Amino acid sequence: MTAAMITANAANKHALRQKYLAERDKRLRADGNDQYVQITGQLAHYLADPYMPVTDRSPRTDHVTFAFIGGGFAGLCAGARLKEAGIDNVRIIEKGGDFGGTWYWNRYPGAQCDTASMVYMPLLEETGHMPTEKYAHAPEILAHCQRIGRYFGLYDNALFHTEVKEIIWQDAGKCWRIRTTRGDDFTAQYVGLGTGPLHVPKLPGIPGLDRFQGHSFHTSRWDYEYTGGDPHGGPLSRLADKRVAIIGTGATSVQCIPHLARACNRLYVFQRTPSSVDVRANAPIDPVWFSTIATPGWQQRWLENFTENQAGGSAQEDLVQDGWTDLSRRIRSKITQLPRDQMTPENMLLAYEDSDNEKMDEIRARVDTLVRDHATAEKLKAWYRQLCKRPCFHDAYLQAFNEPSTRLVDTDGKGVSEITEAGLIAAGEHFEVDCIIYASGFEVGTSHDRRAGFDPVGRGGEKLSDHWASGMRTKHGMHVHGFPNMFFVQPTQGANLISNIPHNLTDAAKTIACLVAHARDCGAATIEVSRQAEDDWVKLLLTGAGRMIGSPDCTPGYYNNEGHDPGPAAKLNVGYPQGPVAYFRYIESWRNDGMFDGMVFQK
């Protein structure tokens, strides 16, 4: 680069930073997370299960070896690995009417995975399933969850439409006592928690929310009775004479808006912040090709290869080849272009910024190529760094705004200002509608006990919320001192691989099965992380570079606590300092050496 080019590049970068900050400022709100309302009381109908009736059953008062709370990927993987290890008495407790977790609830039209099926869908090799598409649609993923449940015999003992209310450690019996909303009161030697971060829908606290006289629902409780159609993509035929509003333009909306745009008499899309929407390039998976790659151990190889490509490894080959691995490849390539003597942390961050700016320019330019109306196209452009918000990928979303029936109502960062008996007010205009669809996301920034619906009480009566009052404290993100025989299955303080959450879960399932089998084989009644080991792990986490997402410079959202200082506790919401690839290597050897350093096994 010449000196003039370097100066021009710096000026462009500066201007873009200013633009991003101005866009962030428009969207910042003093009430942060409090802008959303918890769905309780009068609003509780938004949580009702539209998919399956709740059936009567008698309460359980027995004892199981392992109780797992949550029947999504986490519970299914843990259950599967425990069964393989010969631990048969496993009970999964699930709020929904079947297995699936996210995929039980999210049946909105167009729902599909955003990370390639080959690495996103767990236990494909074990169950012998070939995904039909590079990015499978929701019905296939839900059916796969059910397949795992059947294959590993997890249905036999499962409790559906059941929520845990209370879970208390019993020192005398060395077990957990669990009470549920269905009157169950049973004990379990071990407990796993896989309640997921995104299962409690939230509503925007818009004045007049309860005043609307038309129909309304949240995307995670899609009302096909009202809209017609089905989760397989059948046309939403009952909307042909309806005026519909959808609030929100996050990852959910990006997937369902093309279906709504085709079906509604009138569709108003209320946008506060545009999503960045990159190429999807979905395609069917060819069974002949699949048979050539599906040799023993294939899925683990693919998982590791994706993580190597996506999370800073040195893989030569990219098996998955998607938007996530492309993103990382671009960043790496920019950084490696730096002359050796200029490879400073500061220059590496600037190179990362260059790569981000190029990508976001491409994404903004893509809007112009796909959206015919210039003013609408301008409003659909995202002005923030790509990982400020959840990156989206879709090949029909932007074109939906070319449908004559569809109108983007951009609120310039302010959102819908009021809901009336007949519709909504936004950007100073009143919109009369028959139906409001809330694509307003899920509770993330609220406390663990509020999202989980219970606060585990460990040894000596200590509540988990007290143990974590100054931030999360674990070893591996899984084991908590004072909470024996309890395993947390989630990414934070472990690999923290955000681009493919199931990899974290499938790996944790191996750890659980390994520990429980070891306790059984050596006659131990309890497994617990020592205080020292927990402290050491927390200390190790703090040696890392800190949080990779959630910068206060970003446009507000759930990644950055709505733009508010998350407080000192948030510095612990990090992963293994050397990153996911190193974490998965470390934990594998930790499991395999049989020493289980930091864990105490007691008779």
Shortest approach of ligand NDP to residue 200 CB, angstroms? 12
Closest CB to ligand NDP among residues 112, 474 = 112
Q: Residue 482: left (phi > 0), alpha (psi -120 to 50), or beta?
A: left
Shortest approach of ligand NDP to residue 227 CB, angstroms? 17
Decide: is 441 part of the binding site for ligand NDP (CB under 6 A): yes
Shortest approach of ligand NDP to residue 425 CB, angstroms? 11
Decide: is 439 part of the binding site for ligand NDP (CB under 6 A): yes
Decide: is 114 part of the binding site for ligand NDP (CB under 6 A): yes
Closest CB to ligand NDP among residues 114, 304 = 114
Distance CA 332, CA 23 (A): 28
Closest CB to ligand NDP among residues 257, 529 = 257
Shortest approach of ligand NDP to residue 40 CB, angstroms? 18
Helix (H) or strand (E) holding 431: strand 429-432
Closest CB to ligand NDP among residues 245, 263 = 245
Shortest approach of ligand NDP to residue 426 CB, angstroms? 7
Decide: is 272 part of the binding site for ligand NDP (CB under 6 A): yes
Closest CB to ligand NDP among residues 400, 519 = 400
Closest CB to ligand NDP among residues 445, 484 = 445
Shortest approach of ligand NDP to residue 562 CB, angstroms? 8
Using CB under 6 A as the binding rule, the residues of this chain from 523 to 582 that contact ligand NDP are 557-558
Shortest approach of ligand NDP to residue 272 CB, angstroms? 3
Task: List the beta bridge partners of residue 91.
Answer: 67
- Token digits for 457? 């009480």
Shortest approach of ligand NDP to residue 306 CB, angstroms? 15
Q: To 5 degrees, how large is the angle CA 66–CA 72–CA 78? A: 35
Among 101, 110, 415, 563, binds ligand NDP (CB under 6 A): 415
What is the crossing angle of helices 580-592 and 501-521, to 10°? 10
Decide: is 79 part of the binding site for ligand NDP (CB under 6 A): no
Contacts 24+ apart (CB under 8 A), 223-230: 223/50, 224/50, 224/107, 225/50, 226/435, 227/109, 227/263, 228/263, 229/109, 229/259, 229/263
Shortest approach of ligand NDP to residue 31 CB, angstroms? 11
Decide: is 416 part of the binding site for ligand NDP (CB under 6 A): yes
Distance CA 298, CA 320 (A): 12
Decide: is 113 part of the binding site for ligand NDP (CB under 6 A): yes
**Contact residues for 317 (Cβ-Cβ < 8 A; gap 6+):** 305
Among 100, 109, 231, 250, binds ligand NDP (CB under 6 A): 250
- Which residue stretch of 109-117, 209-217, 400-408, 474-482 sits at the interface with ligand NDP (rule: CB under 6 A)? 109-117
Name the one residue in this structure whose structure tokens are 């599967």.
80
- DSSP labels for 72-86? SHHHHHHHHHHHHTT
Shortest approach of ligand NDP to residue 442 CB, angstroms? 6
Distance CA 24, CA 21 (A): 5
Decide: is 248 part of the binding site for ligand NDP (CB under 6 A): yes
- Which residue stretch of 110-118, 161-169, 180-188, 300-308 sits at the interface with ligand NDP (rule: CB under 6 A)? 110-118
Q: CA-based diameter of the chain, in Å?
A: 77
Note whether 261 and 403 are within 8 A (CB). Answer: yes
Closest CB to ligand NDP among residues 465, 551 = 551
Decide: is 231 part of the binding site for ligand NDP (CB under 6 A): no
- CA-closest candidate to residue 162, choices 251, 116, 98: 98
Among 299, 307, 440, 499, binds ligand NDP (CB under 6 A): 440
Number of residues that bind ligand NDP (CB under 6 A): 27
Using CB under 6 A as the binding rule, the residues of this chain from 279 to 338 that contact ligand NDP are none
Decide: is 206 part of the binding site for ligand NDP (CB under 6 A): yes
Q: How far is CA 446 from CA 33, 162, 201, 386, in A?
A: 8, 22, 12, 24
Closest CB to ligand NDP among residues 248, 482 = 248
φ, ψ for residue 204 (rounded to 5)?
Answer: -70, 140
Decide: is 23 part of the binding site for ligand NDP (CB under 6 A): no
Distance CA 582, CA 529 (A): 21
Closest CB to ligand NDP among residues 490, 526 = 490
φ, ψ for residue 222 (rounded to 5)?
Answer: -60, 130
Q: To 5 degrees, how large is the angle CA 420–CA 421–CA 426? A: 25
Helix (H) or strand (E) holding 437: strand 435-438
Binding mask 477-516 for ligand NDP (x = CB under 6 A): ----------------------------------------
Contacts 24+ apart (CB under 8 A), 561-569: 561/32, 561/33, 561/445, 562/29, 562/32, 562/33, 562/35, 562/445, 563/24, 563/27, 563/28, 563/29, 563/32, 564/32, 564/33, 566/445, 568/470, 568/471, 569/468, 569/470, 569/471, 569/472
Decide: is 117 part of the binding site for ligand NDP (CB under 6 A): no
Distance CA 122, CA 141 (A): 10
Decide: is 204 part of the binding site for ligand NDP (CB under 6 A): yes
Q: What is the dihedral of CA 575, 111, 221, 97, to 10 degrees?
A: -80
Closest CB to ligand NDP among residues 148, 247 = 247
Shortest approach of ligand NDP to residue 198 CB, angstroms? 5
Q: Residue numbers of the site for ligand NDP (CB under 6 A)?
A: 27, 112-114, 198, 204, 206, 247-253, 255, 270, 272-273, 390, 415-416, 439-442, 557-558
